[in-house]
Amino acid sequence: MILLIFSYLPSLLCGVHVVRTGREMYWLWLFVLAPMLAPAFYFFAVLAPEMMGGRTARTVGKAARQAIDPERDFRSAMRALEDTPSVGNRMKIAHAAAALGRWSDAEAQWALAADGHWADDPAILKGHAEALLELGRYADALKRLEHLRAQGSEGATPQVALLFARAYEGLSRNDEADDAFRFAADRVPGLESGARYVAFMAKTGRREDAEIGLAEIERRYSKISAPLRGEARIWRDMAASALARK
């Protein structure tokens, strides 16, 4: 009995904090169902950011909240749109849907956001193009990207070049894809652009160049501190897998 009481003590203390600070009530159910695990998540998601402050602590807290309730941002964005049907709130839904990998939902929201006065907005054009690429609608994505490029400098960034490269690749316009990939690979932060270029070179028979690209990715990956390697590992593994298949 004493052990049972002590096992629920962290849940009790965290539950008091939830009630006093007006947090979401689903935490209380989690404390009952998982009296040891849920308080640990609550500590990293809520208490640590409050106590520590700063960007790093907020990032850790957001990651913990996402692990527990990955659709929280999506639901919040949907409620905001119901209250205020603005383009900005529709864009928030699109971003939240994309973060969940729900690209059809994201594309639908971008399409609605682009209707009317916002048809030339660079952020909407870029977001819509990315969603279309994820859905394999390369020709439609390229139309959005060409529209974006016509808006000026915001359509000429390395990030947009990477989207162009993916669209060209999907349409088998390999010479144009290679130029765009090469431009983006050394300019877009992170490992995604390099990994996609390695995969493209492996697919088009340029194994030696792909191996050189993978070696560079491995070098950059080794310099990333272990706690921050999560997303980078995805792209490193994608590049390695592309070479392994050839």
First to last CA, the chain: 61
Whether the pLDDT of residue 54 is over 70: the answer is no
Q: Provide long-range contacts, Cβ within 8 A and 24+ apart, for 104-107.
A: 104/135, 106/131, 106/134, 107/131, 107/132, 107/135
Residue 236 to residue 242: CA distance in whole angstroms = 10
Residue 154: exposure state from Cβ atoms within 10 A (0-12, 13-18, ≥19): middle
Nearest to 67 by CA among 42, 101, 34: 42
| Mean pLDDT, all residues of the chain | 85
Whether the pLDDT of residue 173 is over 60: the answer is yes
Contact 175, 204 (CB under 8 A): no
Query: What's the CATH architecture for 70-147?
Result: Alpha Horseshoe (1.25)
Whether the pLDDT of residue 82 is over 80: the answer is yes
Domain limits of the chain? Answer: 2-68, 70-147, 157-246
Band (pLDDT 50/70/90 cuts) for residue 55 is very low
Its pTM stands at 0.72
Render pLDDT for 8-42 as a digit per residue (tens, 0 to 9). 677 777 777 777 766 667 777 777 777 777 777 76
